[in-house]
A and B are shown apart, each in its own frame.
Chain A
């Protein structure tokens, strides 16, 4: 009985979670006449790939997809490249008069304001720098947005690594950088993977900044591109859904590849291993 209840609860949760995704997939595969048939066609409809052809053949979704990939990749790499050494510095070195903690809190505080309050100053700054409608501009914004998250996550992971392991490496002949690269980083790999996945997902899904800071197709990302298919005259449900399905794939692939790290990374420190 108890087991039955458990499975029932799990099934309900699964259906609730998967229903919109399933609907999105079916709409992307239905002919336009079937999309809003009543009663709704959950299965057994005529399958067509015309929306995918339209989205990625004739319209510019391929370009948006590439923009999104570049943007997520560049901003995540940049945030890790800057954030990981910063986190290591905060975790390992002695700072006079608690400055380590103060700098940490200050970095975290930038996450406390709602993103929308920064949009006007960001817009003006990027305009002055001639970086509106450019991938470079958006990359900088996303990197800045993810940086505090990287620093805070990685600082926690570095704190978990016993200092003695690093000291042993230095006595064995490593420089500090060598010990960081060859001993500490391999040990925090789960944390690194979890952090990277979060950054990627945030950059991939981001809508607000991308909407305001890009008005032309040059740097338009998938979320903005998809939304822009809601026009004054028609709503391209099929093409939007097809693009939406494709937009889900990279995150799914990446997250499932990093899944074992994700779970370990997020629970690191909870259990002594």
Chain B
């Protein structure tokens, strides 16, 4: 069931948090709203949920206009960053709550809760209270509560950001698999570009309340629409070099280094090296600008050592200096 936003605008006082956002997520699609904090992505999500009312624009879900509907009548489930479990109910009651509100027969609720709990590995925790659970377990309960009633859409507001790094990666994979199985359109908000790249079918990169680019992870990475997207996606971020004929963008992996002089390569000095284990990040300086490069692991370079570099000619990105958007090749 597709979700379609048209011209969504929301003002807080005189500041436009979301301005004229239009976006269509197809049935079963996983769309990630990616952007720095304050870019309006959470506000947009809350507007879709019905927790905020937009000043202009419309929302269509599964073909019906839900713009004026209250949150509870939209049939949308949401997972919050803080999980927002009900502290006074045990896990079974938390998971079953959406069905209880809908006055389903207790036997049916019980069966569904067991079913969903088994799917998310929560069976042994059903009698516990939320505060007795670890962060990862609470996260699973929040997911279970969202999926139990098979909503028309899922909304997730930075659901993994309260977890530690290892658990985050684990839950990320689980989440992706779950979404694939359920095939329910999902809008996922994050500021973590790695999460966006790994989870999304398509990423909507946002800044200052506007969508900068809405495309597949591969296209966002390899064909960024402007310098903001180019630098926000990818880690370490893309080198941007001011040239007389425009802004040149080069990803660190497209900077080739050599410790011996090569014809047509430019000389530079090593500014700093960062050993990452599986690779080495080398920052070099040509006197005026710093350029970040990826090098193989174990590359030993002294501070200020002489080095030669070149950019892979087929991997250059050119941006217009005034609009800062990608030049059409």
Interface: A201 (CB within 8 A):
no
Determine the main DSSP class of A at the interface with B.
helix
Residues of A in contact (CB 8 Å), total 17
Residues of B within 8 A of A212 (CB): none
Residues of chain B contacted by A170 (CB below 8 angstroms): 50-51, 70-72
**Cβ–Cβ contact B131 & A273, under 8 A:** yes
Residues of B within 8 A of A168 (CB): 78, 80, 84-86, 145
Chain B contacts with A in 55-105, Cβ cutoff 8 A: 70-72, 76-78, 80-82, 84-88, 97-98, 101-102
For the complex, what is the distance from the CA of A172 to the CA of B88, rounded to whole Å?
Answer: 16
Residue from A164, A169, A171, A187 within 8 A of B82 (CB atoms): A164
- Identify the closest chain A residue to B97 (Cβ): A172
- In the complex, A40 has a CB within 8 A of chain B: no
Q: Is the CB of B49 closer than 8 A to any CB of chain A?
A: yes
The answer for the CA separation of A169 and B72 in the assembled complex, in Å, is 9
Q: Is A175 located at the chain interface by the 8 A CB criterion?
A: yes
With beta carbons under 8 angstroms apart, the residue of B51, B85, B98 that contacts A167 is B51
Q: Is A119 an interface residue (CB 8 A)?
A: no
Contact for B86 among A169, A173, A175, A273, CB less than 8 A: A169
Closest Cβ of chain B: how far from A98's Cβ, in Å?
Answer: 13
A7: min CB distance to chain B, Å: 36
CB-CB nearest in chain B for A179? B72
Whether A171 and B72, one on each chain, are in contact in the complex, defined by CB atoms closer than 8 angstroms, is: yes
Q: Kindly supply a per-residue 1/0 record for chain A positions 141-174, scoring 1 wherever the CB is within 8 Å of any chain B CB and 0 otherwise.
A: 0000000000000000000001011011111111
**Residue in B49, B72, B81, B84 whose CB lies within 8 Å of A173:** B72
Cβ contacts under 8 Å, A175 to chain B: 70, 72
| In contact, B86 and A171 (Cβ under 8 angstroms) | no
Q: What is the total of A-B residue contacts with beta carbons within 8 Å?
A: 57
- In Å, the complex CA distance between A165 and B88 comes to 11
Q: A171 with B131: in contact, given A164-B82, A183-B86 (CB under 8 Å)? A: no
Which residues of chain B have C-beta atoms less than 8 A from A165's C-beta? Answer: 84-87
Q: Which B23-53 residues have C-beta < 8 A from chain A?
A: 49-51
Contact at A172–B101, with CB atoms within 8 Å? yes
- Find chain A residues with CB under 8 A from B102 CB: 173
Listed residue (A165, A168, A174, A186) with the most chain B CB atoms within 10 angstroms of its CB: A168
Query: With an 8 A cutoff between CB atoms, is A178 at the interface?
Result: yes
Task: Tell whether A172 pairs with B131 under 8 Å between CB atoms, given A164-B82, A187-B88.
Answer: no
B50 CB contacts on chain A under 8 angstroms: 170-171
User: With A162-B82, A164-B80 in contact, do A171 and B49 touch (Cβ < 8 Å)?
Assistant: yes
Assuming the contacts A162-B82, A178-B101, A273-B131, asked whether A171 and B76 have C-beta atoms less than 8 A apart, the reply is yes
In the complex the two chains form, what is the Cα distance from A259 to B77 in whole Å?
A: 39
Residues of chain A within 8 A (CB-CB) of B77 are: 171-172
Q: Is the CB of B101 within 8 A of A174?
A: yes
Cα(A253)–Cα(B87), bound, Å: 29
- For the complex of A and B, the 5 pairs showing the least CB-CB separation, nearest first, are A173-B101, A168-B84, A164-B84, A172-B98, A170-B71
Instruction: Identify 15 residue pairs between A and B in the complex whose beta-carbon atoms are under 8 Å apart, listed by A's number.
Output: A164-B80, A164-B84, A165-B87, A167-B49, A168-B85, A169-B97, A170-B51, A170-B72, A171-B49, A171-B78, A172-B72, A172-B77, A173-B98, A183-B86, A273-B131
Binding site for B on A (CB under 8 A): 162, 164-165, 167-175, 178, 183, 186-187, 273
Give 18 A-B pairs besides A162-B82, A169-B86 with Cβ atoms closer than 8 angstroms: A165-B84, A167-B49, A167-B71, A167-B78, A167-B84, A168-B85, A168-B86, A170-B50, A170-B51, A170-B70, A170-B71, A171-B49, A172-B77, A172-B101, A173-B102, A174-B72, A174-B101, A183-B86
